[in-house]
Amino acid sequence: RGCPYACKFCHMGGKHFNKVNHNSFDRIIKEIEYVRKYNKTHNILNFTDDNFGMFDIDLKVLDYCQKSYKETGWPIQIRVATAKKPNKAFINAALKAPDMLRVTCHFQSLNKETLKYIKRIGPSETELENIHENFAESKSVNLSETALIIPMPHETYETYHAALKKIIDVYKIEHCAVQTLSTFWGISFESRSLLKEFGMKNKYRFEHSSFGEFKNFNAYEIDRVCVETNTFSENEYYKARLFYYFCTIFYFKRNFFYLRRYLTQLGLSTFEWIDFLFTNRNDAEIDVRKYFDKIDSMSRDELFDSPQEIKSYWSNLENRKKMRNGEFGFNVSHMVLGQMGLIYNKLLDYASHNTKKFLQTKNISFNNEVDELIRLMKKLRLNKLTNDEIDTDINEKFNFDFIQWHKDDFKKELKDYYYEEQLPMKLTFTDLQKSDLKNLITQYPKDEPVSVSKFYSRILPRRYFRNLIYI
């Protein structure tokens, strides 16, 4: 435990936490074996480490977990914050443990003034190149990810927008969590003088999922967050959050993979395409528009002006019922992913219509490529967490050899793979995917919205997308 960095936005930046300590390898393995012995349902192992991969002992632990998975099927996955500056040894270890963990590039911001102020030391260009080279989504089953925090000092909506563009178009990192700056007790931003200096406006929300009703009492926790600074307005904050959710829907977690590869191959910006979808969101059909509006409302409605307002909300029995049912008080970005499955086909139709409009604005001609890509993607994602859905193989015929296109790393135009007589293909999960998915869904009840949202936020996407094979 402990972190050698001094980032102002994090409680671990305090001097008390700067010394890094860890247990012996044997002690860690004994703890893992203890968890395995008494664990009945959970297949994901959590490590509360702030820089996993910094030391050789971490690589030995990762290797142990991978061997354990191969021999026993447990743990299917580990969840941990990886090292702020990933080295080659860790990258090689992660490559030997496919689908075991996410490899993170920690940004928090790409604005130089902000980074200097918060004392954040990000990955070097060489380290970023290593991440891209080894974990590009077209080549690797491993997921790369990063995070941004808004609104921090000196950050503007424009610098935030530019950061997302760089993450998507240049670094091509597959997932980014955009987090709201917490100003809780124990970090630099609890200081009243800092709040005044940067015009920081605080609001309050329930700490995500940190509430409950118990036998003799009920309880909840509060998170104090910043929604405005003197360079980033509250309205821009809400706009920034909604735009991030569009990135989540249409890019992050390998969503819309084949359609995005098609656009990239045409020399188009993925980020610009997402921005086009965002700008035209009000043209969506009613159910998709309601989905977008609900996302926007969730970002706004989770915030309160004072702790007293939260207390008043909690004291209402009907409100607590809503929270128990998963209608309020949970991580919004998780809920966005979980509810995608309810209107997935309609989202694809929306993307199809607006992608064609986007191509027309670029004077790019197309035939049935977009229609065939959308038809393919409607069959790829697991949208129902049931054994029957996992076991279902789907036979289809396509005018394009998507399999060879992927094998060629999407270097040629999709039209070069056209066949007049359609090619028969099967969309299926591998036997290992089926086994893992069936084990995983036992801890995520299919009828609970919060549970479903946690599945899609926690499980690495390679597991819940079907494979395409020739018949």
176 forms bridges with which residues in the sheet? Answer: 146
User: What is the spatial distance between Cα 296 and Cα 122, in angstroms, rounded to a whole number?
Assistant: 30
HSE-CB at 53 with a 13 A cutoff on CA atoms is: 24
Q: 461: closest CA among 248, 143, 45?
A: 143
User: What is the spatial distance between Cα 20 and Cα 22, in angstroms, rounded to a whole number?
Assistant: 7
Burial class, 72, CB count within 10 angstroms (exposed 0-12 / middle 13-18 / buried 19+): exposed
pLDDT at 425: 97
How many CB atoms lie under 10 A from the CB of residue 74? 17
Are the C-beta atoms of residues 225 and 182 closer than 8 Å to each other? yes
Are the C-beta atoms of residues 274 and 250 closer than 8 Å to each other? yes
pLDDT at 357: 97
pLDDT at 462: 87
- CA-angle at 86, arms to 85 and 91, nearest 5°: 175
pLDDT at 13: 67
pLDDT at 231: 98
User: What is the spatial distance between Cα 157 and Cα 148, in angstroms, rounded to a whole number?
Assistant: 12
The predicted-structure confidence for 22-78, as pLDDT tens digits, reads as follows 889 999 999 999 998 888 788 899 998 888 888 899 999 999 999 999 998 999 999
Give the long-range contacts of residues 228-231, CB within 8 A, separation 24 or more.
228/151, 228/199, 228/200, 228/201, 229/151, 229/152, 229/153, 229/155, 229/198, 229/199, 229/200, 229/201, 230/198, 230/199, 231/151, 231/153, 231/154, 231/155, 231/156, 231/198
Ordered strands of the 418-428 beta sheet: 394-400, 418-428, 467-470
pLDDT at 20: 81
Average pLDDT over the chain, rounded to an integer? 91
Q: 152: closest CA among 186, 106, 104, 188?
A: 188
pLDDT at 203: 97
Q: C-alpha distances in angstroms, 11 versus 3, 137, 150?
A: 10, 33, 17
Backbone angles phi, psi at 179, to 5 degrees: -105, 150
User: What is the spatial distance between Cα 292 and Cα 342, in angstroms, rounded to a whole number?
Assistant: 13
pLDDT at 401: 97
Q: What percent of the chain has pLDDT over 70?
A: 100
The predicted-structure confidence for 136-187, as pLDDT tens digits, reads as follows 777 777 788 899 999 999 999 999 999 999 999 998 888 999 999 999 877 8
3-state secondary structure (DSSP) of residue 443? helix
User: What is the spatial distance between Cα 452 and Cα 202, in angstroms, rounded to a whole number?
Assistant: 31
Under-70 pLDDT residues of the chain: 13
